[in-house]
Homo-oligomer: A and B are copies of this chain.
Amino acid sequence: METSKKRSECPLSCSLDVFGDKWSLLIIRDLIFYKKGTYNDFLKSEEGIATNILASRLKALEENGIIEKSAHPESKAKILYRLSKKGIDLLPIIVEIYIWSDKYFSMPLEIKQIIKEAKKDKDKFVKQITKELKSQ
Contact = CB atoms under 8 A, between A and B. Distances in A.
Interface of A: 7-17, 20-22, 25-26, 29, 46-48, 86, 89-90, 92-105, 107-108, 111, 115
A7 B101 contact: no
Given A12-B26, A15-B101, A93-B93, 17 more contacts: A7-B46, A7-B47, A8-B47, A9-B108, A11-B97, A11-B102, A11-B105, A12-B94, A15-B97, A15-B105, A16-B25, A17-B22, A20-B21, A86-B103, A92-B96, A93-B96, A96-B96
B98 A11 contact: yes
24 contacts: A7-B48, A8-B46, A8-B47, A10-B29, A10-B46, A10-B47, A10-B107, A11-B97, A11-B101, A11-B107, A12-B98, A12-B101, A13-B47, A14-B101, A14-B107, A16-B25, A16-B26, A20-B20, A20-B22, A20-B25, A21-B21, A92-B100, A93-B97, A93-B100
A interface, over-half SS:
helix
One complex includes copies of this chain to the number of 2
A56 to B, nearest CB: 15
Contacts of A93: 93, 96-97, 100
